[in-house]
Chains A and B, each alone.
Chain A
Amino acid sequence: MSSVTSRNRRRVLKGAAALGAYALSASPARSAAKPFEGVELNVSCWSAPFPKLLQTYLPEFEKLTGIKVNYDTPGFLIYNQRVDLELSTRGSSYDVLNITFIYVDRWLRAGWFAPLNDFLKDPAATPKDFDIDDFLPATRKIMSDKQGNLYGIPWTCDISMAAAGRYDLVTQAGLAMPTTFDEIEKVAAATNKNGVAGFLGDNRHGWNFPPYLQGFGGNVFRKPPDDLMPMLDTREAIAAADFYCHLLRDYGPNGVLSYSYDQVTAALKQGRGNYVTEGHIFLMPAADPDSKEAKTVRYSPFPRGPAGQFPGFATHAWGIPVGAKNKRASWEFIKWAMSKEMMMRAVTEKGYSSPSRRSVVQSPEFKKRLTLNDNDVADIYLKGIETAGGSDYMAYRIVHVFPQVDTLIGQAMERIVSKQMSAADSMRQAQASAIADLKKAGVKL
Chain B
Amino acid sequence: MAAAVAATDRGYSVTPRQRLALLGGLLPAMVLLAALTLAPALYLFVVSLTPATPTNPSSLTDFSAPAQNYLSALADERFTESLWVQLKLSASTVIAQTVLGLGVALLLDRRARLVQALRTIFLIPMVLPPIVAALIWKILYTPDVSPLHRVLAAVHLPVSSLITNPHTALWAIAFADTWEWFPFTMLIILAALQVVPREPVEAAKVDGARPLQLFWYVVLPFIRPAIVVAALFRLIDSIKAFPLIYVLTSGGPGTATQVTNYYAFTQAFNYAYWGYASAIAVMLTAGVFALSWLVSAVGTRSSAHD
Contact = CB atoms under 8 A, between A and B. Distances in A.
Interface of A: 81, 84-85, 87-88, 106, 109-110, 203, 253-258, 263, 266-267, 272, 400, 403-404, 407, 410-412, 414-415, 417-421, 426, 433, 436-437, 440-442
Nearest to B251: A411
A414 B252 contact: yes
Nearest to A86: B54
- Please report whether the interface of chain A is mostly helix, strand, loop or mixed according to DSSP: helix
Contact of B253 (A84, A109, A417): A417
A254 B272 contact: no
A411 B254 contact: yes
A88 B54 contact: yes
A414 B276 CA distance: 25
A440 B273 contact: yes
A411 B144 contact: no
B55 A106 contact: yes
Interface string B166-183: 100000000000000000
Contact of A415 (B55, B158, B253, B269): B253
A428 B245 CA distance: 26
Nearest to B75: A436
A420 B51 CA distance: 33
Name the residue in B53, B55, B56, B271 with the highest tally of chain A Cβ atoms < 10 Å from its Cβ. B55
B76 interface: yes
A109 B55 CA distance: 8
A267 B130 CA distance: 28
A254 B160 contact: yes
B296 interface: no
B72 A415 contact: no
Nearest to A270: B144
A258 B249 contact: yes
A253 B163 CA distance: 14
Given A254-B161, A258-B161, A411-B255, A418 B166 contact: yes
Given A407-B266, A433-B78, 16 more contacts: A84-B54, A84-B269, A106-B55, A110-B54, A253-B143, A255-B142, A257-B253, A258-B249, A407-B270, A410-B252, A411-B254, A412-B254, A414-B253, A415-B254, A440-B273, A442-B51
B65 to A, nearest CB: 12
A88 B164 contact: no
A90 to B, nearest CB: 8
Given A255-B163, A272-B144, A88 B57 contact: yes
A254 B143 contact: yes
Given A410-B252, A418-B253, A81 B269 contact: yes
Contacts of B251: 411
Contacts of A258: 141-142, 161, 163-164, 248-249
Interface in B108-141: 141
Main secondary structure of the interface of B (DSSP, over half): loop
Q: Which of B249, B254, B256, B272 has the most CB of A within 10 A?
A: B254
B240 to A, nearest CB: 18
A404 B269 CA distance: 10
Given A414-B252, A420-B253, A404 B270 contact: yes
Given A400-B55, A407-B266, A418 B254 contact: yes
B8 interface: no
Contacts of A426: 254
A440 B158 CA distance: 45
B165 interface: yes
Contact of A255 (B56, B161, B255): B161
Given A255-B143, A257-B164, A441 B252 contact: no
Interface in B42-70: 51, 53-57
Interface in B263-298: 266, 269-273, 276
A400 B271 CA distance: 9
A230 to B, nearest CB: 14
Contacts of B141: 255, 258
Nearest to A414: B253
Given A253-B144, A272-B144, A440-B276, A404 B249 contact: no
Given A257-B252, A258-B249, A411-B255, A436 B76 contact: yes
A420 B160 CA distance: 16
Contacts of A267: 144
A253 B249 CA distance: 17
Contacts of A400: 55
8 contacts: A255-B144, A255-B163, A257-B252, A417-B253, A418-B164, A420-B253, A421-B254, A440-B273
B28 to A, nearest CB: 32
A82 to B, nearest CB: 10
Contact of A266 (B144, B158, B165, B166): B144
A257 B144 CA distance: 13
Interface in B195-229: none
Contacts of B270: 403-404, 407
Contacts of A87: 54
A433 B143 CA distance: 32
Contacts of B142: 255, 258, 263
A126 B287 CA distance: 58
A410 B253 CA distance: 9
A357 B112 CA distance: 71
Nearest to B271: A404
A254 B142 CA distance: 9
B160 A255 contact: yes
